[in-house]
Chains A and B, each alone.
Chain A
Amino acid sequence: QKEVEQDPGPLSVPEGAIVSLNCTYSNSAFQYFMWYRQYSRKGPELLMYTYSSGNKEDGRFTAQVDKSSKYISLFIRDSQPSDSATYLCAMSPTQGGSEKLVFGKGTKLTVNP
């Protein structure tokens, strides 16, 4: 079983839709959870960073963590064509240092105007 599982999609939605992206994980040591956005031919950029169960909101983006179920989600409200990208979940047992960041495969999202 992979440490982090993410449905690769692809996902295609109309502009204005609510998008739900999900990852499950098996390693209960993971404490820090991130969502990255990667545009074509670019490096990933950090969208959301959480280190506790519950919800965290930033504009149109909400990150949700459920440690008891080992499940994290990213919701995008009022999706825009500029949100079209690959979304990667990532997690780590510690805040940084020598512990590696483990990524999901990524979900490719297309928002159609």
Chain B
Amino acid sequence: ETGVTQSPTHLIKTRGQQVTLRCSSQSGHNTVSWYQQALGQGPQFIFQYYREEENGRGNFPPRFSGLQFPNYSSELNVNALELDDSALYLCASSLWPPPTPTYEQYFGPGTRLTVT
């Protein structure tokens, strides 16, 4: 069983540029959630995709957008990058509805984005 993978591992961008981050969900999972984790902070929910539709969004502006593909992999796009967007971006995949009472999201290792 392959775990959650993310690419790239690290990325450096300039303010105002656009970036696309990618996530391959764990085999059999149909839901992907994206989180932003600033240094020294807990992850903050950006949005979730379920069966290719956005299914819940956190307090992030519209320049954060996403996609989920038929194979349940996902992309996070951020336009007009700002310095405050520098963070670790985590994706987590899960199966909904869960097969057990424990609903577990499996996190990938993250993409470290630095905006200069």
Which of A's residues lie within 8 Å of B, judged by CB?
Answer: 4, 6, 8, 32, 36, 41-46, 49, 51, 88, 90, 95-106
Contacts and interface: CB of A to CB of B under 8 A. Distances in A.
Contacts of B90: 43-44
Given A43-B4, A43-B90, A44-B90, A102 B45 contact: yes
Q: Binding site of B, secondary structure by majority: helix, strand, loop or mixed?
A: loop
Contacts, number: 66
Contact of A96 (B35, B103, B107): B103
A62 to B, nearest CB: 17
B94 A96 contact: yes
Given A96-B98, A101-B33, A103-B43, 14 more contacts: A8-B40, A42-B109, A43-B4, A43-B92, A43-B108, A44-B43, A96-B94, A97-B55, A100-B56, A103-B35, A104-B42, A105-B40, A106-B40, A106-B41
Contacts of B40: 8, 105-106
Interface residues of B, number: 31
A12 to B, nearest CB: 17
9 contacts: A8-B40, A42-B110, A90-B42, A96-B97, A98-B50, A104-B42, A105-B41, A106-B40, A106-B42
Contacts of B102: 49
Given A8-B40, A96-B96, A41 B104 contact: no
A94 to B, nearest CB: 9
